[in-house]
Amino acid sequence: MTLKPRLESFELKVLRSLNIRMNLKINEQSNYMYLKKGYDGERLFDKWLETLTNAHLILNDLLLEYNGTVFQIDTLLFYSDKIYHFEVKNYEGDFYIEADRWYALTGKEIKNPLLQLKRTESLLRQLLVKKRFNHTIESYLIFVNPKFHLYQAPLNLPIVFPTQLTRFMEKLKNKHSKLKDSHKKLAKELLSIHKDETPYNRLPEYQYDELEKGLICPLCHSMYTTFKPILVCNSCGEKERYPTAVLRAIEELQTLFPDKKITTSLIYDWCKIIKSKSTIRKTLKKKFKLVGYSKASYFVNHE
């Protein structure tokens, strides 16, 4: 059972929108691609864990704090005998280890992900002790990308390579597990102290007027060019009904500009290719609550 599902971070949502609607700087594009690739890798691992049928609990994307230090956990998997702590990496390409340092095949040194794994496990263990929970923790670095290879890796490292994932999952599936109330209590405690992310200082500056307006294809993220009841993407051929695209655009707008009031005129401008304000208003009335009258009216989410 997954008690905390994995969701896109606020930062990733904003950067994805900005990457489509404006020209990001090179470092901003790099940050977006880094976050996207990491999230895609984590979701791929989630699909592996969805095949588990024995008794378990899963918590994803925990942001915790111990003794003034904030740390993030990709995945915790609770079994009766231990808690598995997974750090998921979506690295692609050839790497090697030399004297405990990690390098790309080009010779460029990269951060040693094992140090991150050990640091996070240590902080988690100390946090559990402080909370008076006594559970065994077993940590693994999970590489999910089949195009990843690590040369000169010692045999005893807590690493699961892409070619080992199937065997590793079979091992987990065959575990006998009967969860106790203490596991559920710990999971709820960790959820209660999970911290909300605060990525605002890492985002580029942007203004409404400088963003490209329009409806975005959910599959390839291209802009729809013509409006019909059934929208068709010229780039990938994806089809969807226009109300679905409009509601997604509204959600995107609320993420980018949470202080803007949702009005018919604003959404008409934001969607661009829809030429009728009555079409916009009809869609808004179905999903939102109208507040006020005449030109001063606006829409809010239903409580």
The pTM of this model reads 0.91
Average pLDDT over residues 30-49: 97
247 pLDDT above the threshold of 80: yes
pLDDT band at 294 (very low <50, low <70, confident <90, very high): confident
Instruction: List, for residues 8-22, the tens digit of each pLDDT value.
Output: 999 999 999 999 999
pLDDT band at 296 (very low <50, low <70, confident <90, very high): confident
Look at residue 245 and give its three-state secondary structure: helix
Average pLDDT over residues 59-82: 95
Q: Distance between CA 297 and CA 7 in Å, rounded?
A: 32
Average pLDDT over residues 176-184: 90
pLDDT band at 198 (very low <50, low <70, confident <90, very high): low
Q: What is the overall mean pLDDT for the chain?
A: 94
Give the per-residue pLDDT at 201.
Answer: 62
- For 172, 173, 188, 269, the CA distances from 53, given in Å and listed in that order, are 10, 7, 21, 48
Give the per-residue pLDDT at 200.
Answer: 52
For residue 238, count CB atoms less than 10 angstroms from its CB and return exposed for 0-12, middle for 13-18, buried for 19 or more.
middle
- CA proximity to 267, closest of 228, 290, 298, 225: 298
Please state the separation of Cα 128 from the chain's center in Å: 25
User: Of 3.90.1690, 2.60.40, 3.40.91, 1.10.1060, which CATH number belongs to 2-200?
Assistant: 3.40.91
Contact 70, 63 (CB under 8 A): yes
57 pLDDT above the threshold of 60: yes
Instruction: List, for residues 119-173, the tens digit of each pLDDT value.
Output: 999 999 999 999 999 899 999 999 999 999 999 999 999 999 999 999 999 999 9
Average pLDDT over residues 86-115: 96
Q: Domain limits of the chain? A: 2-200, 213-301
- For 29, 30, 87, 118, the CA distances from 12, given in Å and listed in that order, are 11, 12, 19, 26
Residues of the chain above pLDDT 70, percent: 98
Give the per-residue pLDDT at 274.
Answer: 93
